[in-house]
Structure 1
Amino acid sequence: MSDVVGLPVRVKVVGRPGCGRRTVTRVLHGAGVAVVASTAVADLDVHVFAETLKPEDRRALTMSPRPVVAVLNKADLTGFGGRGPVAAAAERCRLLGDRVGVTVYPLAGLAAAAAVDDRILDDELLGALRTLTVDPADLGSTDRFAGGEHRLPNAVRQRLLADLDLFGIAHAVLALRSGAERAGVIAALRRASALDGLLAGLEAIAAPVRYRRLTEQFADSAADEVVAARMAAAVEVVEAAGMTVDADVSAHAHLRRAVVWQRYSHGPVSRLHSRCGADIARGSLRLWERAGGVPEPVELKP
């Protein structure tokens, strides 16, 4: 059973050419996501687009045979003002998601890649960024940064643009000015890129995939190991949906949890959540018995 429980959820990155599929693939792979090739079997899709959803994007999202999320890549180019371009992109994602019925996440792809790939922010790049903290360059546009007068060699400036773009350069310089070292710069790039929001979204959509895989494989087993694994997978599903499952390990808490989730399983919920509620209740009862709980006959009233 451990082979099934530990099997990663396979993610396929799709989308129109030129929107940054390779960058998003590199980011997800670097973050530990099991990304598979376009010809391989996948459990869910990550659809990458830029600027806005075109008709072909909408068709792909609505016709996907698997669970799917959308990623607005190059979110740092959304526009400035207010709380910044990524915040503006997040609001755009919310509006687009409401229209197509699919969750959409913003991502500043190059900043995210630098946050997960240790090879990018090397000594040369970090030294160049430190130079910019004391000798600022014109970050008004890529042409002005690359072509303006500055003591950094043009080749180094071109590499900064290729690996971080203006958005990443600005956030890295700000972090260094605040006293950050290399790890702090990487953390700042990760926060600025909105990567963690995307990863949390993928984890939420992957939870039902793991649950279904487990329940299909061990549909008829009542072994303790299987009951515990099904309960854990069910907890992941309901918590991914925003609910909280009591983690107290006392006998009383196990029994209370069983009652709560048994009632939930009979409520006006989806079939998936009904099954999850039943698995949480069954697992909790098994834990209650192990903790010393003694089943007693219950007189059913007519």
Structure 2
Amino acid sequence: MCGVVGQPVRVGVVGRPGCGRRTVTGVLRGAGVAVADPSQPSDLDVYVFAETLKPEDRRALADCPRPVVAVLTKADLTGFGGAGPMTAAAERCRLLSDTVPVYPLAALAALAAVDDSVLDDDMLAALRVLTIEPADLGSTDRFAAGQHRLPASLRQRLLAHLDLFGISHAMRALRDGADRAGVVAALRRASALDGLLAGIDAAAAPVRYERLADSADDDAVAARMAAAIDVVQAAGMTVDGGAGAAAHLRRAIVWQRYSRGPVSRLHARCGADIARGSLRLWERAGGIPEPVELTP
């Protein structure tokens, strides 16, 4: 098993050249994710693609030996009109999530939200000017080449670091009275970064569980139970979080039955660890036998 208990889950950023791996790597590192260098082993992979999953992308995802999530980078270019490009991107990702989870990401906006060096004083001042004297945001060419008192070089810099999507959301935040922190928060929300991070965390749940499950220390029972709960909840199941002896005993019985299948080996182990941890909690709560009503 890669890694040891206590170390962060190492994420590899993979995908075909030209799809934005470098930017996504910067985003994830800026967000605090432990991204492995290309020469290092990873515990799970983030597969970067653009526009749609091509046959070679699907083959790479199917052949990945580790947990993997896919990210549609440049999601802000998915299409305009309707509810906006990110809504269209989210729907495209939903349709593509038939084998692995797929998440949208407006990568440039996300990078500006997590890298303090991107949105410097000059760029913020330029954005403030644009809220007072709007420029043509109809296309990148019109924004860059149109007549405006902002130097063309500064407009090119805005495009390079924010693109039209990020510029628009930053200007909207400034018009609403936001300061620098407010603009950064708006860019983060617009980029859908937090959805991707939640997806990575869910995909990492089995990795964290396997690390703990390999530990024979009795003191790890509670930690293994918590990790097992993360695994089954990431798969869409609900675990009764009730306290008290009756709730602990009920949960132990339900998940002991679950562990006996038919379920995967991983989920069988998770069920057994949830049951074991629940019984430990039941003992600490008094462990007095009492009638327990179970849902069939």
User: Counterpart in 2 of 1:179?
Assistant: 177
Cα offset for 1:76? 0.7
Q: Deviations over 1:182-222 (max 9, x none)?
A: 2221111111111111111111110011111221x22xx36
1:229 aligns with 2:227: no
Displacement of 1:124 after TM fit?
1.5
* SS of residue paired to 1:5: coil
Tell me the secondary structure at the aligned position of residue 34 of structure 1: coil
Q: For 1:1-302, list aligned pairs within 5 A.
A: 4-98=4-98, 101-215=99-213, 217-218=214-215, 221=216, 223=218, 225-294=219-288
Q: Quickly say closer, same or farther: Cα 1:165–1:41, change in 2 above 3 A.
A: same
What is the CA–CA distance in structure 2 between the aligned matches of 1:121 and 1:6, rounded to whole Å? Answer: 34
Q: Deviations over 1:162-183 (max 9, x none)?
A: 1101000001111111222222
Distance 1:10 1:209 in 2: 10
Gaps of 5+ in 2: 291-296
Q: Which region of structure 1 is more displaced relative to structure 2, 250-259 or 130-139?
A: 250-259
SS in 2 for 1:164: helix
Q: In 2, distance between residues paired with 1:21 and 1:30?
A: 14
Distance 1:50 1:206 in 2: 23
Q: Report the number of matched residues.
A: 288
Write the letter of the residue equivalent to 1:103: P
SS in 1 for 2:12: strand
* Structure 1 runs (4+) greater than 6 angstroms displaced: none
Give the direction of change, closer, same or farther, for the CA distance of 1:295–1:7 in structure 2 (3 Å limit).
farther
CA distance in 1, matches of 2:226, 2:5: 10
Deviation readout 1:35-55 (Å, 9 max, x if unpaired): 011111111111111112223
Measure the CA separation in 2 of the matches of 1:52 and 1:229: 39
Q: Alignment identity in percent?
A: 76
Q: Which runs of 5+ in 1 are unaligned?
A: 297-302
Q: Are the aligned partners of 2:245 and 2:288 in contact in 1 as well (CA < 8 Å)?
A: no
Q: Is the 8 Å Cα contact of residues 143 and 155 (structure 2) preserved in structure 1?
A: yes
Look up the SS of the partner of 1:207 in the other structure. Answer: helix
Q: Distance in 1 between matches of 2:18 and 2:255?
A: 47
RMSD: 1.7
What amino acid sits opposite 1:64 in the alignment?
A: C
Q: Deviations over 1:200-247 (max 9, x none)?
A: 1111110011111221x22xx361x12112111101111212223233
So what's the TM-score if we normalise by structure 1? 0.90
User: For 1:4 and 1:38, how far apart are their aligned partners in 2?
Assistant: 20
